Amino acid sequence: MKIRKTVLQDQEIKVYIYENKKEESFMVAVPAQEWSAAFSYEEMDAELVNKLNGSFLNRGLDEESASQIAWRINQWVREM
């Protein structure tokens, strides 16, 4: 599991990223937003960013913050 720190709405938060290599999937959680998501390796890049962005918008984040955290998560999982 990787733990990344980022700033979201002027607040430092932790993002937890777990990679399940056997099932070729990721689990990402942002406890500060009471949010989590699971996705497969095939859902990378633009598809993943759109999915995460929509999910963060549903949690009440503004569009800029949702897009920012979605792109960061996408970048972090690609590095793993």
Task: Check pLDDT > 90 for residue 8.
Answer: no
pTM of the full structure = 0.89
Distance CA 39, CA 45 (A): 12
CA triplet 80, 42, 40: central angle to 5 degrees? 65
pLDDT value of residue 47: 87
CA triplet 65, 68, 74: central angle to 5 degrees? 140
- Crossing angle of helices 63-79/46-58, nearest 10°? 140
What's the whole-number average pLDDT of the chain? 92
pLDDT in tens, 24-53: 999 999 999 899 999 999 887 888 999 999
